[in-house]
Structure 1
Amino acid sequence: MVHIVPITEQGKTFIGIEVLLPKTTLLVITSERGYIMCGALDVGLLNEKLKDRRILAGRAVGVKTLEQLWEAPLESITDEAASIGVKVGMAGKEALLLMS
């Protein structure tokens, strides 16, 4: 099952996506320019193999809901996200505001 929900913060709308998979849940919150994701995101792959795409993304681990992902500190970020001021340890919502 897939749930898609709008999330509004400071007049901006983000899209939360929750995909229920066997024994796990995939969580993503996206802006127009970038996204944050649960531990399934491979930041190393984005930085190394897909560097030319300049992807703005961050990863939070240990989250089980979109609400937790929104508030959780980012454990890792892409080089491109760092270039716009996103930092490891920053709450997901703060990073998404920079990515919007």
Structure 2
Amino acid sequence: MLIEQIQLKNGCALGLRFEMQKYPLLVIRAEKGFLMCGYLNVNAAETLEDTAAKVKGVQSFEDMLNAPVVEVTKLARELGIELGMTGREALEKMY
């Protein structure tokens, strides 16, 4: 597992990378929620009442920051996170 600090405008998020069989499982945790890769399930995050946004087709933290958000939970929408914004924009709203 790799843990890395991700610099945001208002602070640092925490990136977690788990090496799987073919592609990494990636999560970036901010103060109010997290950005997830395609391995993880938005419906589960919704059920657990988490603030989460999902990006797909990523293999690094940099990819996650630049990729468009494709799914969000209700709580993420309430923070102003919208489909199509970048992962970085979503994380900035979660800080």
Structure 1: how far apart are the matches of 2:19 and 2:78? 32
TM-score, normalised to structure 2's length?
Answer: 0.92
Shift of 1:43: 0.8
Tell me the number of residue pairs that the alignment of Structure 1 and Structure 2 aligns.
95
Distance 1:73 1:20, change over 3 A: same
Deviation at 1:58, TM superposition (A): 0.6
Helix, strand or coil: the match of 2:63?
A: helix
Q: 2:4 aligns to what SS in structure 1?
A: strand
Contact 2:45 2:51 in 1 (8 A): no
Q: Percent identity?
A: 33
Residues in 1 aligned to 2:10 and 2:50: alpha-carbon distance in whole angstroms: 24
Larger Rg: 1
- Structure 1 unaligned runs (5+)? none
2:58 is aligned to 63
Q: Give the letter for the 1:17 counterpart.
A: L
2:8 paired with 1:13: no
| Runs of 4+ deviating beyond 3 Å | none
Alpha-carbon distance, 1:24 to partner = 2.1
Measured after TM superposition, the shift of residue 33 of structure 1 is: 1.4
TM-score, reference length from structure 1: 0.88
1:41 Cα deviation (Å)?
1.7
The match for 1:83 is: 78
Does residue 52 of structure 2 align to residue 94 of structure 1?
no
Structure 2 unaligned segments of length 5 or more: list them: none
